[in-house]
Amino acid sequence: MTLQIFSGLTHPVSIKWELTYKCNMRCLHCGVCGGDPLPHELTATEARHVCTKVGHSKAITVLLAGGEALLRKDFFQIAQELTDYDMVLTFESNGWYLNSETVETLAKTGFKCVKVSLDGVNAQPHDRLRNTPGSWERAVHGIQNLIEHGIEATVGFCPVEFNIAEIGDLIDFCVELGVSRINTGELAPQGRAFINWEQLAPSKEQYNRFFSTLDEKSEEYKGEIALAYTRNIMKNISTQWSSPPAHIHIAPSGKIRLSSVLPFVLGDIRRHTIDELFGWYKNAWRTEKVRAYLQKIQHMEDFLKYPHEIPYLNYEEELACE
C-alpha cells in the first residue's frame, strides 16, 4: 500500500487488542513480561466501551491477545460484543486452556482462527522456553480441539538457540496435525528475551540454516501449509514510514502503540475515538522522532546497543500527538 492510498483511509483495516498481561506462564522470551495483570488495565466497563468504539471503527478483523487473554473473566463477553458487530475474530493463545469445552464456546462465539504457540516437536524445548511443564502437550491438544471444532488452527514458532534446528521437523508435524499456517521470524530482544538474551539468541549460522529450511519447506508444502516469515523484520519495519499497515494496536492499559516492537504510544482509547487515534497513527510514522529511531534500529541486535530505549512493558514514549 502506498502512502498516498494509505493517507486516504480514515479507519484501520485490522485491530490488535491485548486484553491483559495476565498469564499462567512465565515464558523466557516474553516480550511483555507476561504474568501478573497490571493495575491500570482496562476494567470490564471500560472494555465494553472499547468494544463499541472498535465495533464502529469499520475495521474488518480483530485479533485478541495477551498475556493469556482467556484469563480475563470477561473474555467471552468482549468477543461476543465484537462478533455482534460482524467483525472477523482471531485469537492468540499459549494453548493451555483450549480444552474441548472452551473451544466449543470459541466456535459458538464466532472465532474463525486461533494461533497457538508451539516451540518444538516434543515437550523438551517447548516446556523449557515456556517455563511450564506440560505446556507442549496442552498446546498440541488445543490445536487438535480447534481443528475438530472447525476453527482454523495456526502456529506461532519462536526460534531460540535450543529449538531453532527443529523448524523442519516442526513444519512436518504441523502438516500432520492439520495446521494451516506457521508464523515465525527473528527473536526480538524485548522484555524477558532481552534479559535472557545470552541463553536464547540463535547464532547467525543457525539463522541462515533456519531460513534456508523455511525456503525449502515452502516449496515442498506449497498449497498445504502457509509459512509466514521475514528475514530481517526490523529492516521491513524501518521502511514502514512510507507504507505503514492500516492497523491499530491496543495495549491492556488502553494505550495505542505505534508497533509491537517500537517504544511509541499515540494516545488512550479511553479518551479518544478510533478515527482520532488512527489519524495520529498515520502522522506518527512521518515524524522526525520516529524516523530517527528507525534509522538507528535496522536489525534486532541494534536494540542491544540502546538499552535505555528498549520498549519494555512500561516504557512508553509519548509523541506530540495529544
The domain ranges of the chain are 3-318
Do the Cβ atoms of 29 and 196 come closer than 8 Å? yes
Band of pLDDT at residue 313, cut at 50, 70 and 90: very low
Which of the residue ranges 47-51, 102-106, 191-195, 283-287 would you say has the lowest mean pLDDT?
283-287
CA 17, chain centre distance (Å): 9
What is the Cα–Cα distance from 203 to 139, expressed in whole angstroms?
Answer: 27
Per CATH, the homologous superfamily of domain 3-318 is: Aldolase class I (3.20.20.70)
What is the Cα–Cα distance from 157 to 302, expressed in whole angstroms?
Answer: 22
Mean pLDDT computed over every residue of the chain:
89
Which of the residue ranges 138-142, 279-283, 303-307 would you say has the lowest mean pLDDT?
303-307
- Strand, coil or helix: 91: strand
Count of CB atoms situated within 10 Å of the CB of 265: 22
Rounded to two decimals, the pTM is 0.90
What is the Cα–Cα distance from 80 to 197, expressed in whole angstroms?
Answer: 39
pLDDT in tens, 12-44: 999 999 999 999 999 999 988 889 888 899 999
Band of pLDDT at residue 2, cut at 50, 70 and 90: very low
∠ CA 158-127-107, nearest 5°, is 75
Do the Cβ atoms of 121 and 100 come closer than 8 Å? no
What is the Cα–Cα distance from 272 to 248, expressed in whole angstroms?
Answer: 13
